[in-house]
Structure 1
Amino acid sequence: MICVGAIAGAYGVRGEVRLKSFCAEPAAIEEYAPLTTEDGAHSFTLRVTGQLKNGLTAQLGGVHDKEAADALRGTRLYAPRDRLPGLPDDEYYHADLIGLDVLDTGGGPLGTVAAVHNHGATDLLEIRLPGSAETVLLPFTMAAVPTVDLGAGRLIADPPEGLFPDSGGADLPA
């Protein structure tokens, strides 16, 4: 399941919601309905009814009043992967990256992708360090991540100097 949007709250009094779409073309979220909650407990048909400065307005099946719409605030909406379009070779769904092993260019383990964040400029991979709860944010650029191999479940990273903790000084010259 791929997260394609999130409900930001009620819009009006007739059950419409403010909707954040995570699709490249925001209104395309309507094409992937019915959408489900993360746990699969609820499913919604969706009809986009308008556009706002920071999102869309939509009517969800079974949501008929402001109180029901407000109760869904923060709910993430998911679509099955097979309903979504294929991507070019150099693009990935965030869900496909989470869980990948991260290796350095020499094949050494750096960690595992725990999450993917985007705060506007570029995607950031949150890498959980091996045997630790600590994480490091790695820019998801061609320079920092030259290879993504979904089939092998790994990506190769060439991180900026000093981003990852030193591995005990083994790479320092004598």
Structure 2
Amino acid sequence: MTEERICVGAISGSFGVRGEVRLKSFCADPEAIGDYAPLYSEDGTKTYTLQITRAVKGGFAAKLSGLTTKEEADAMKGTRLFANRDALPDLPDDEFYHTDLIGLEVLDTGGKSLGHVRAVHNHGASDLLEIHGPNLKATVLLPFTNDAVPTVDLTAGRIIADPPEGLIPDE
């Protein structure tokens, strides 16, 4: 992709027989996903407009430009949809797009490297940073809270972490 794009949703299957898709929105305001059009395929070769037609269990039913049959919609299952970063709203200082956190180095409050953010997960309660590092036998899930992560410095490409006692094994 030539421009920076952020994943804003994914197609989880077809809905009905007229080419509608089941859509999962990853936006803070789930219904706003259509406002960020055009949406792009992951490789950036296809563009789509999107119209949400109704809420359904687990997301929305939506019309995606170019799809007119159930078979075409079925073929889109698993497709992730991306929006141009500049089409998305600016975030407050204490909020971040997950894509901005992935890859950042994680240092403890003493400056020791703990590893890098491999992924950001949310299982309902709050975000968790998946930390992977050479001194860790397995990845560690660090709560993304003000107590555990007091500083995120995107410019310097690092996170300062104060992990809960016992989360990071001592060497």
Return the TM-score normalized by structure 2.
0.94
Work out which of the residue numbers 58, 64, 74 in structure 1 matches 2:78: 74
Give the alignment partner of residue 110 of structure 1, picking from 104, 108, 114. 114
Given residue 35 of structure 1, which amino acid in structure 2 is its aligned partner? L
2:125 alignment partner in structure 1: 121
Contact 1:7–1:17 (Cα < 8 Å) also in 2: yes
What is the rounded CA distance, in whole Å, between the counterparts of 1:105 and 1:130 in structure 2?
Answer: 18
> Does the 8 Å contact 1:104/1:157 carry over to 2?
yes
Residue 130 of structure 1, CA deviation: 2.6
Larger radius of gyration: 1
Provide the rounded CA distance (Å) in 2 between the counterparts of 1:126 and 1:150. Answer: 17
Counterparts of residues 1-174 of structure 1 (less than 5 Å): 1-130=5-134, 134-167=138-171
Shift of the alpha carbon at 1:134? 3.2
Q: Deviations over 1:127-173 (max 9, x none)?
A: 11136683111110111100000010000000011111212xxxxxx
Cα distance in 2 between the residues matched to 1:17 and 1:30: 13
Question: Does the 8 A contact of 1:109 with 1:130 survive in 2?
Answer: no
Q: Secondary structure at the match of 1:40?
A: coil
Aligned to 1:171: none
Residue correspondences, number: 167
Q: Counterparts of 1:130 and 1:100 in 2: how far apart (Å)?
A: 15
2:8 maps to amino acid: V
Counterparts of 2:165 and 2:68 in 1: how far apart (Å)? 54
1:8-64 CA distances to partner (integer Å, 9 max, x unpaired)?
100000000010101111110001111112121322111111111321111001111
- Partners of 2:82 and 2:20 lie apart in 1 by 18
TM-score w.r.t. structure 1 length?
0.92
- The question of whether the paired residues in 2 share the 8 Å contact of 1:7 and 1:18 is answered with yes
Q: C-alpha offsets along residues 71-129 of structure 1, whole Å, 9 cap, x if unaligned?
A: 11111111111110000111000000001000000000000001001111110101111
- Structure 2 counterpart of 1:60, which letter? L
Identity score, percent = 68
Q: Once superposed, what is the RMSD of the aligned Cα atoms? A: 1.3
